[in-house]
Amino acid sequence: MSGKTTTLNCRVNPDAKQQAEAVLSRLGISMSTAIDMYLKQINLVGGIPFSVAISPDMSFEADDMSASEIHAAIHEGIDDAEAGRVKDAASVFSDFRERHF
């Protein structure tokens, strides 16, 4: 099925929507396209296409961090990437499917 044929109406937090629109605008993607991409990913992976969990060792609140802490977290990610401590998306999705299906 191609083309837009359905309207989706939902209530969302206005601040979250505004912030997302700003990010999507910078990416050159409309909100409609982003939501369509999200729905397609749900279908491809058979669930929500990202982890929905509280994992203190893997997440952080940038709002609660100082500039130097954010800088350190970014550099830690860069160091991991440069050292090869990364996984490609196909492997991540494969692992996810094995654990959850």
Name the burial class of residue 45, with classes exposed (0-12), middle (13-18) and buried (19+) by CB atoms within 10 angstroms of its CB. Answer: middle
SS (H, E, C) 33-83: HHHHHHHHHHHHHCCCCCCCCCCCCCCCCHHHCCHHHHHHHHHHHHHHHHC
pLDDT in tens, 37-46: 999 999 998 9
pLDDT for position 54: 61
- CA 76 to CA 44: how far, in whole Å? 31
* pLDDT computed for residue 19 by the predictor: 93
What are the extents of the domains in the chain? Answer: 1-50, 53-101
Q: Considering the domain 1-50 in this protein, what is its CATH number?
A: 1.10.1220
Whether the CB-CB separation of 49 and 38 falls below 8 Å is answered with yes
What percent of the chain has pLDDT above 70?
A: 85
Query: Which pTM does this prediction carry?
Result: 0.49
